[in-house]
Chain A
Amino acid sequence: MTLVLTNRFKLKDSHTLAVYEENGGYKTIDKVFATNPDDIIEEVKQSGLRGRGGAGFPAGLKWSFIPKDPGKPKYVCVNADESEPGTFKDRYLLELDPHQLIEGIIICCYAIQSHDAYIYIRGEFDLPYRRIQAAVDEAYAKGYLGKNIFGKGYDLNIVVHRGAGAYICGEETALLESLEGKRGNPRVKPPFPATHGAFGCPTVINNVETISALPWIITNGAQNYRQWGTEKSPGTKMFSVSGHVNKPGVYEVPLGYPIKDMIQNECGGVGGTGRLKAVIPGGSSVPVLTAEEALDANLDYESLMEKGTFLGSGGIIVIDDSVDMLWALRNLGHFYSHESCGQCTPCREGTGWVSKILDRIYHEGGTQADLDLLNEIADNMSGKTICALADALAMPVRSYLKKFPEDFARHIKKTA
């Protein structure tokens, strides 16, 4: 099936400029520079493209918040700090089609009239880093980046910046702090990056997948993009499926695609014991779905909201019935307490506390009071911090406890 993002993945040397250009790459440039920047923003708005990093904020709307004439530079930052557990889609876009991303960056920069872009890439990404850096170098050599790109009288520089191994730097304002050479702590908002972003200047921050969709959208038009997906979630999305499936991997499907079909058709059915217990639909931080809920759910923003969870980053983790959900939650507790930046009190202390309680219940057994306390700590953490990391643990805590009580009851000590 020909879709939007992954069409060139199977080609040999798909990451090279030559292969990219032979297969439709950089063909939209002439059209872009012949179009008014505001019309590009309008086209992206019309496409309904939503941010693929997790929050799902409409991309065109985000760009329209950038002041037209701020009297200082404007920046574009590509968030390639993909680190949400269960999410591994951006790495393929970086490894297998880096020029698609670069073309997307050119479109975005032109649309908001920015001349400097950063790709903030997760430090642990080695091959993706080498591929995107090589692609940027190729583009510079060919005059596609740098001064007077494509002879269009427009200057554009791209800098690839490697992170140093912190999950939190995927949060857009922590990313900016890190990019500026500071400790990666999220910023208090407002002000938002659209007015006070990188180095205090107006900045658009979009996920790799969001930017990578732009060349197709501009080439084929917003209405064509809407042939896929739903009214509020148009287009296609890449899902990284892992856990108990027979064919884990990255799949691009139209939004609104049923989870059941994703598991059965794309992934070759439930693996492990073959009996589905739970599905995490959007990366480890979103509320979990029971098997029953999951088999009835579609992969788009509003369907999953109706089920009380989120599409998030599209990291689907499929869990069979051999898994102890307390064990799984404990794993998340370790992750989020380790990755909390530590600036806000509820997150710094709450994630560590939750993690230690889960450890104790797992190793020594707990009491009903421990489970009540877990719920209360989760409540005390949610919605009271600078960024969403505290919620990223609080949401699993509440949903696991609520939906899989028997897995927790099993660890409750019989009262003496």
Chain B
Amino acid sequence: MTKVKITIDGHDLEVEQGTNLIEAARQLGKTIPHYCYHPGLPPDGNCRMCLVQVEKMPKPVIGCRTGATEGMVVHTQSDEVKKMRQSIMEFLLINHPLDCPTCDQAGECRLQDYYMDYDRIPSRYQEQKVHKDKMVDLGAGVMLDEERCIVCTRCVRVCQEVAKSEELFVQERGNHSMVATFPGKKMTNPYAGNTVDVCPVGALTSKDFRYKKRVWFLSAADSVCQGCSRGCNISVHHADNRVYRLKPRHNPEVNDYWMCDYGRIDYKFVNDGRRLKPHFKTDAGLQEDSYQNAFAHLQSVLQNYSADQITGIASAQESNEEINAFVDFIKSNFGSLPIYFSKNNPENPYEDDILIKADKNPNSAHIASKNLKPVSEISGGVKAVFVQRNLSAQDAQVLKDKGIQIVALFATNETNLDNLAEVILPIPTFAEQNGHFTNFEGKVQGFTKALKPRGESRLFAEHAEDIKALLSSIKKAS
């Protein structure tokens, strides 16, 4: 690509020829305000907020669709540009309902932000506002408030470009224009949640998140989606040691700006249905109890087996670190039998050629690198197993058929193995630890801790220390 020299507000810089002026200004750390432009979507040029002045051009030009050419001199802070921004803000707000107190977007709304930055004058609008429907269910968990919409068409374009779907369009004209689905139809594409992300105002909100939390109380942790082997980069938005929503995080090599709707709701297990304390099996059923009593029970169970009858089943749902710790633990304490793995293995998994992979495990690649065997190949010598996280229904059936005992299950949540395991020890979910997943392309991606480990859950390594102590006391006794 050819490089060209341009000047923005007196600063010289070199950019690739044709770079739009919003991106060129970004290289200087400058923001040219915009609504309809999104770096992941084809530019449309409708909002006119990014109008700037370019010397030798007769009229103001839009930054999003003006490419840099050699010697271009751009002004983004002149009085005329400021006046244009103020007038665009005034136009955008005359028919806006100004219902910020009840709007879920408040706190992350471009209308609020730019009003403070570029407008700050009282309304001069005395006429009746255009009234439209405030509760339109577009489908796929997306709600539309037509009055708040500024018709920037980011959502229309995100459906076209990302989901390859023409489900959204603009109907009516002039100030009656609104985003809609076709009559009798709803959005069904599995990327619809991205429409909410790209909406710069409160027009599109998520049914799952709306009215649950004011956004300024949320903190964000960089993370990686564990819904499939793609490993989309995400932010975990959390407060009160609970996860409130997941948002995609830009990574041009993995997921660009997007994530799918399956991944987007794959946080509920962090909040609900958790195994927060140790459990063990009694005659009266599964009992919640202290670590001390759970380990006492584990000790009595382990005494029934010799070390060469015991092995472990690692999980493709866990991090590289947790898998390593588990495999090392089994190898160093038992080790004569092969070690096995299990995967989340739903029937007819959905996949497409956009983001969603059929393999619904975040870490199959790391499991593959450990030379473990699938549970279906489990040999006759195995009498008892430690199980990491969970087993697929098929794998659980294999253990049942072969009469193999689960001595301990390291679980985040209640599972179908609860009644098969002698002892259940709580471990944290991905949201409660730092770690790495290796995606289907072999990319090792780090995720960070958003929450404190919930309840009494502990990383496998901590459990392993205590179990090692237990094993040595068994050895001494025998």
Contacts and interface: CB of A to CB of B under 8 A. Distances in A.
B88 interface: yes
B174 A353 contact: no
A342 B177 contact: yes
A338 interface: yes
For A183, A349, A384, which residue has the most chain B Cβ atoms within 10 angstroms?
A349
Chain A: number of interface residues, binned into ranges: 20 to 34
A183 B127 CA distance: 29
A268 interface: no
A269 interface: no
B172 interface: yes
A351 B177 CA distance: 13
A352 B126 CA distance: 13
A250 to B, nearest CB: 29
B176 A342 contact: yes
A166 B150 contact: no
Given A183-B169, A380-B87, A345 B46 contact: yes
Interface of B: 44-49, 51, 59-60, 62, 65, 84, 87-88, 90-92, 94-95, 124-128, 130, 150-151, 153, 169-170, 172-177
A345 B88 contact: yes
A357 interface: yes
Interface in A142-186: 166, 168, 183
B463 to A, nearest CB: 59
Contacts of A384: 48, 51, 59-60, 84, 88
17 contacts: A183-B170, A342-B177, A343-B151, A343-B170, A345-B46, A346-B48, A346-B88, A346-B91, A348-B174, A349-B95, A349-B175, A351-B175, A352-B130, A353-B94, A360-B126, A383-B60, A384-B59
B312 to A, nearest CB: 59
A356 B175 CA distance: 12
Contacts of B92: 345, 349
Contact of A348 (B51, B84, B177): B177
Given A346-B48, A380-B91, A384-B48, A360 B127 contact: yes
B91 A386 contact: no
Contact of B94 (A339, A343, A349, A385): A349
A255 interface: no
Q: Which 8 A-B pairs have the closest CB atoms?
A: A342-B177, A380-B87, A349-B91, A356-B127, A340-B174, A352-B175, A343-B46, A188-B45
B87 A348 contact: no
A373 B177 CA distance: 24
B78 to A, nearest CB: 15
A267 B336 CA distance: 109
Interface string A373-416: 10000001001111000000000000000000000000000000
A61 interface: no
A386 B60 CA distance: 11
A220 to B, nearest CB: 38
Contacts of A188: 44-45, 62, 65
A313 interface: no
A345 B44 CA distance: 12
Interface string A314-343: 000000000000000000000001111111
A373 B121 CA distance: 14
A51 interface: no
A344 interface: yes
Contacts of A353: 91, 94, 125, 127
A356 B129 CA distance: 10
For A168, A348, A384, which residue has the most chain B Cβ atoms within 10 angstroms?
A348
Nearest to B125: A353
A342 B91 contact: no
A415 to B, nearest CB: 16
